[in-house]
A and B are shown apart, each in its own frame.
Chain A
Amino acid sequence: MKYFYYSGCSLEGTALEYDISTRAVMQALGVELIELDDWTCCGASAAEAVSELLSMVLPARNLALAARMDQDCDFVIPCSACYLNLRKVDEHLDRDEGLREKINAVLQEEELSYKGGIKSRHLLDVLATDIGAEMIKAKVNRKLSGLRIAPYYGCQALRPYGGYDDPEEPRCMEPLIEALGAEVHPWPMGAKCCGAGLMTTKKEIALELTGELLKAAKGADCIATVCPMCQMNLDSYQKKVSQVKGEDLRISVLYLPQLIGMAFGLNAEALKLDLNMAYTDSLRTKLKN
């Protein structure tokens, strides 16, 4: 199995542990990740708020880099916003000939072109669909027994495109969590919004949305995430949210590949657990026993 790997900007910065743990887990699973040396930002949520064409060209540039590498494989993308942006390009190219021409006229500036046809897939889709619970289970040598994990999918991994899981009541993380020997925390919040970029532009609202999520996670030992933006909103503002909500809402929040890596017996350094903002002592102790 091999994929083009698009890490995106967050995974070079605040979400470094997501990048490192994803690579470690993929290596353990024997999956090859092909790097694009000259990749650039997908435009995040900024380009679409300023220019439609720019919001297509920025992700398309990365698809064009992959297209000229002459490898027949899909993209695997850990960040939900990057995933949506790259996938959006092909969804639009198929419907709009004029847009295809415009995008290529811009890409020509860098002597690049893109005709479409490379599939952009979320890391969660690849883990759940291509790799699957069985293959993951076979690599587990340190079961996460006694751990209760709340699967959090967020928005853009599922909507508007998705296709690999129910966009309102997703379940695909559950067999993976069970394969690790852990228990699934049943909650109705898996596909609800964390507030995303509103944490920067409209903090009160994002704190409210995050607060509801953290409240519903009570009873779990840990929330599993598959997006750097969700992770940041859920783990970095817990003190503030606890103040707003008037109750202690602290809980561990880890990236799904970090949890998988733990069950594979990879050590804390290999999974960069020291970089997580919310990795509580109670979870640490529980994992030791």
Chain B
Amino acid sequence: MSEETRELSEGHAEEDLMAAIRENIKACMQCGTCTGSCGSAYAMDFTPRQMWRMVQLGMVDEIFNSRTFSLCSSCYYCTLRCPRGLPLTESIHGLKQLAVAKGVAEKKGARFYQTFLDTVRRYGRVREMELMARYFIAMKSPVLPLSFTPLGMKLMMKGKVSPEMPQFFRPGKLDGIFRKVKELEARS
């Protein structure tokens, strides 16, 4: 993870973001439509409906200790169906951003996002094989790559990706944009 990307997430005004999410969810009437629409709800420790109540009540620690928001696949079913028309998926993105900013995001997910964005900053585009290589290095996990191996091998056999080594130490294509975003977010 580079300095730019790390600081980018730390630059958030955390409390403002949490307040904005609370404001978004203010009108929730606890009907449970979101939970009933969610394909991941079966694996969550709190259902989406319960989590929105926790947001209303400002139970910040409980929210970030739960795995609920990290299991969201951004399918937008809840957003589509919420009878109050609340921006639910967007609010979950807000919670994910907060988790990264607070440093409480689950290592696996957060590292993946950071590694991804770092590749974007450096090259402008993502080369998938290189992204995976960087991710494994960032995770410092010798076992993790195995869980991708069938896919990785298949992709290489099919010639979809070239097994290039990552190039470190190069100024990034989108350095300017990332720097400016960080600057503006620190100010807000």
- Given A41-B125, A49-B100, A236-B154: A202 and B70 within 8 A (CB)? yes
- Asked if residues B76 and A159 are in contact (CB atoms below 8 Å), the reply is yes
Q: Would you call A244 an interface residue if the criterion is a C-beta within 8 Å of the partner chain's C-beta atoms?
A: no
Q: Which chain A residues lie closer than 8 Å to B9 at the CB level?
A: 50-51
B30-53 interface with A by 8 A CB criterion = 39-40, 43
Closest to A276 in B: B158
B114-156 interface with A by 8 A CB criterion = 114, 116-117, 120, 124-129, 147, 150-151, 154-155
Q: Would you call A47 an interface residue if the criterion is a C-beta within 8 Å of the partner chain's C-beta atoms?
A: yes
Q: How far is the CB of B147 from the nearest CB of chain A, in Å?
A: 7
Q: Which chain B residues lie closer than 8 Å to A201 at the CB level?
A: 70, 106, 108-109, 112
Q: Could you say which of B70, B120, B179 contacts A41, with CB atoms under 8 Å apart?
A: B120
A206–B72 alpha-carbon span in the complex (Å) = 11
Query: Is the interface on chain B under 10, 10 to 19, 20 to 34, or 35 or more residues?
Result: 35 or more
- Asked if residues B147 and A203 are in contact (CB atoms below 8 Å), the reply is yes
A160–B150 alpha-carbon span in the complex (Å) = 33
Q: Could you say which of A49, A106, A193, A277 contacts B96, with CB atoms under 8 Å apart?
A: A49
- Asked if residues B109 and A109 are in contact (CB atoms below 8 Å), the reply is no
Q: Could you say which of B40, B114, B160, B180 contacts A106, with CB atoms under 8 Å apart?
A: B180
A130–B40 alpha-carbon span in the complex (Å) = 35
A198-212 interface with B by 8 A CB criterion = 198, 200-206, 208-209
Q: Which chain A residues lie closer than 8 Å to B126 at the CB level?
A: 9, 13, 41, 44
Number of interface residues of A (CB under 8 A): 61
Q: How many A-B residue pairs have CB under 8 A?
A: 163
- Given A195-B73, A196-B74, A209-B39: A13 and B161 within 8 A (CB)? yes
Q: Which chain A residues lie closer than 8 Å to B174 at the CB level?
A: 40
Per-residue contact bits, chain A 39-81, to B (CB 8 Å; 1 contact, 0 not): 1110111111111111101100100000000000000000000
Q: Which chain A residues lie closer than 8 Å to B161 at the CB level?
A: 13-14
Q: Would you call B181 an interface residue if the criterion is a C-beta within 8 Å of the partner chain's C-beta atoms?
A: yes
Q: Would you call B97 an interface residue if the criterion is a C-beta within 8 Å of the partner chain's C-beta atoms?
A: yes
Q: Could you say which of A40, A106, A239 contacts B120, with CB atoms under 8 Å apart?
A: A40
A108–B40 alpha-carbon span in the complex (Å) = 40
A51–B121 alpha-carbon span in the complex (Å) = 14
- Asked if residues A105 and B150 are in contact (CB atoms below 8 Å), the reply is no
Q: Which chain B residues lie closer than 8 Å to A274 at the CB level?
A: 158
- Asked if residues B8 and A9 are in contact (CB atoms below 8 Å), the reply is no
Q: How far is the CB of A137 from the nearest CB of chain B, in Å?
A: 32
Q: Would you call B171 an interface residue if the criterion is a C-beta within 8 Å of the partner chain's C-beta atoms?
A: no
- Asked if residues B160 and A159 are in contact (CB atoms below 8 Å), the reply is no
Q: Would you call B75 an interface residue if the criterion is a C-beta within 8 Å of the partner chain's C-beta atoms?
A: yes
Q: Would you call A175 an interface residue if the criterion is a C-beta within 8 Å of the partner chain's C-beta atoms?
A: no
Closest to A106 in B: B180
- Asked if residues A110 and B79 are in contact (CB atoms below 8 Å), the reply is no
Q: Would you call A192 an interface residue if the criterion is a C-beta within 8 Å of the partner chain's C-beta atoms?
A: yes
The 5 closest A-B pairs by CB, nearest first: A159-B76, A109-B176, A193-B75, A40-B124, A46-B116
